[in-house]
Structure 1
Amino acid sequence: MTSPSPLPATADNVLLAEAGEGTRVQFQGIEKSYGAHRVLHGVDLDIAPGEFVSLLGPSGCGKTTALRVLAGLEHADVGAVLLGGQDVSRVPTNRRDIGMVFQAYSLFPHLDVAGNTAFGLRRRGVGKAAAARRALDALALVGLEAFADRFPHQLSGGQQQRVALARALVTEPRVLLLDEPLSALDAKVRVQLRDEIRRIQLRLGITTVFVTHDQEEALAVSDRIAVMDAGRIDQIGTPEELYLRPATAHVASFIGLSSVVSGVASGDTVAVWGRSLPTNAPATGAVDVHLRPENLRFTGEADAATAGVVEESTFLGSIRRTLVRTDSGERVRVQHDAHAHPFFGERVFLTIDPVPVAVREKV
């Protein structure tokens, strides 16, 4: 795929010249059901103007339904959607002034790249010359102005998705909605386009809602992430907050890599392998404890919290992750320097850094 050209540095690009500060987006007690099945349970969300917020969660958690309610493609049973303080809950999609990019590119095969990009403008009554100029500006943002006369079948998947992004941006929407737009792309192109979307969003200052099940994508581009589970928002916060201070065991297991071991909680602390660790939330009694691999370390026998046997060790470039089966039968992953290479069957000793951990009471 051809590398994108740099973003224009001047106001010669109409989209950049007219870039604003974004629009506030609010969900107020949104509930949505399909028949007897409740999909969204009183979702509340307040997105600041110009903020990039990801809705992150497993399949079936309600994140795409929430996005479709915001877009007007679905209507909430209860609650309100506000754009810029205005209730748009019953406003048709074509009057909400939003741009959308889906997983499927949905380009018109009979139109060239410029025609696909300008389509929304022409439907809005923009003159041919003005639409063509603005389409080229949008294509310049995504690095495809040199491809304006090509047709979709002449483009790679990544290039087609760039056209879809340009088409969403060309109408200068108040809000940009992205519904898993990268999941059909290969890994390298996915990272390139992910970073490109973030750069463009920052340049335009457009409020953006990004739906994904990929935690790495969400962590890489978001100002804040709303982690969803079973139609509810478990926690919303910055990537750092969610990773370092997960409010629930679900968030701890979904954001980053964790090993689950048994512990006994007493208020704000939990005993694990004879060590007392602070918890992110009070609990009492038998609990599951989520340990991050970077907070487990190899040590000498005298300082060990537990011991075990190496079952596998994976080289990941600058680091290595080693799976250890402890003497109690629990399996934990240890993240460590790549130069250390424990061998299969080796007996090792582990200790735990005294950092807050997420716990979940056993049922």
Structure 2
Amino acid sequence: MTLARSLPRTSDNLLLAAAGEGTRAQLRGVVKEYGAHRVLHGVDLDVAPGEFVCLLGPSGCGKTTALRVLAGLEHATEGAVYLGGQDVSRVPTNKRDIGMVFQSYSLFPHLRVLDNTAFGLRRRGVRPGEARRRAGDALDLVGLGHLADRYAHQLSGGQQQRVALARALVTEPRVLLLDEPLSALDAKVRVQLRDEIRRIQLRLGTTTVFVTHDQEEALAVSDRIAVMNAGRIAQVGTPEDLYLRPATAEVAAFIGLSSLVPGLLASGVATVWGQALPVPSPVGDGPVDVFLRPENLRFVAAADPGIGAVVHESTFLGSFRRTVVRTDDGHLVRLQHAASERLEYGDIVRIAVTPAPVVVRARIVEDDEDDLEPDGV
């Protein structure tokens, strides 16, 4: 689904005036092998026209390879790539009408910003005057029209990446592909530019596939997220679906913060510290590891149901605090709570679980110092 039609456009910017609905992009049963090593195992992905989809996963999971197959920079060993309903599996990259932005800016040092932006148009035979006008529109779109006459070395990293984005957009591609475009930037600039990319994508309605290993980044900008693990897509869904209703323990561990605690599963209900928790996708009955989100744990009075604990650390994070405690049964868990609740190392507390749905996995370890290992936002 695209929101492009509902957003205002300015008629004086040709790029915005030509904004369309985007093009459907699909991977169907894509397998990619390098010799005897299989990187992608039958990947299926359907990106709707105008949709912003993130490929999210740890390093080595195959997300960049999937993007490169979609771009035509790699050919699938098996399967097919479709753009706009047409099989483009054997169509070269320069004939697929896509725009690409990489982690490295790859700007030409001897060209000014305007000429860097217009380069793709000139290669397509667009007349110089028209190319410069369209390049100026693209630079205005990313907020850099006033820097058109500078060289790359005169720009900050964030500005250079904006130029790379303008260069990808100026040809009005059917699909925009971004491969870890923000990972080389500092935290503040990264947040600003990710929001800028999303704003521009919504205005243009361009179908966009964005590769990242940063969960917060994916949750912030995506219409949907495809979580990849070991060359397969583990789950595709909205950010809310993945966070609140992860389909597997692997997705629960990768999206957001979780603490692992032991529980007992019976008939689709896990019991943790005396609290019954619904399990939408139960495994077999018996001992399980239960994934608990920090916001689903709370401090309670000494006489209330729950479990005793000792505070290990408490971190102030502006509008809230995140506190780590060790429970009486020996497990480290995180809680997220009001910033006004100040706690110190060694404080004796009592905690309880909110009866929200949880994800579980068959218990594979006994009490372990690494209960906090599943990590994310």
In structure 1, the partner of 2:271 is: 271
Offset of 1:304 from its aligned partner?
2.9
Which stretch of structure 1 is more off in the superposition, 31-40 or 20-29?
31-40
8 Å contact kept, 2:274–2:305: no
1:202 aligns to what SS in structure 2? helix
1:94 aligns to what SS in structure 2? helix
- The verdict on how the C-alpha distance between 1:8 and 1:299 changes in structure 2, with shifts beyond 3 A counting, is closer
Cα distance in 1 for residues equivalent to 2:273 and 2:36: 45
8 Å contact kept, 1:249–1:358: yes
1:329 is the counterpart of 2:330: yes
Which stretch of structure 1 is more off in the superposition, 64-73 or 9-18?
9-18
Cα distance in 1 for residues equivalent to 2:326 and 2:171: 56
8 Å contact kept, 2:30–2:41: yes
Give the RMSD, CA atoms, in angstroms.
1.1
1:162 aligns to what SS in structure 2? helix
8 Å contact kept, 1:180–1:211: yes
In structure 2, the partner of 1:13 is: 13
Offset of 1:10 from its aligned partner?
1.3
User: CA offsets, 1:131-170, max 9 Å, x none?
Assistant: 0000000000000111111000000000000000000000
1:206 is the counterpart of 2:203: no
In structure 1, the partner of 2:40 is: 40
8 Å contact kept, 2:57–2:212: yes
Which stretch of structure 1 is more off in the superposition, 8-17 or 154-163?
8-17
Paired letter, 1:261? V
What is the percentage of aligned positions where both structures have the same residue? 74
Cα distance in 2 for residues equivalent to 1:324 and 1:110: 57
1:22 is the counterpart of 2:13: no
8 Å contact kept, 1:8–1:140: no
Cα distance in 2 for residues equivalent to 1:10 and 1:41: 44
Alignment of 1:1-363 (within 5 A): 9-283=9-283, 284-363=285-364
1:196 aligns to what SS in structure 2? helix
Offset of 1:267 from its aligned partner?
3.4
Cα distance in 2 for residues equivalent to 1:27 and 1:8: 32
- With the length of structure 2 as denominator, give the TM-score of the two structures: 0.93
Cα distance in 1 for residues equivalent to 2:9 and 2:94: 32
In structure 2, the partner of 1:3 is: none
- With the length of structure 1 as denominator, give the TM-score of the two structures: 0.97
Where does structure 1 lack aligned partners over 5 or more consecutive residues? 1-6
Offset of 1:254 from its aligned partner?
1.1
Cα distance in 2 for residues equivalent to 1:37 and 1:129: 49
Paired letter, 2:270? V
Which stretch of structure 1 is more off in the superposition, 340-349 or 279-288?
279-288
Offset of 1:362 from its aligned partner?
2.5
8 Å contact kept, 2:9–2:17: no
Cα distance in 2 for residues equivalent to 1:292 and 1:217: 19
8 Å contact kept, 2:39–2:62: yes
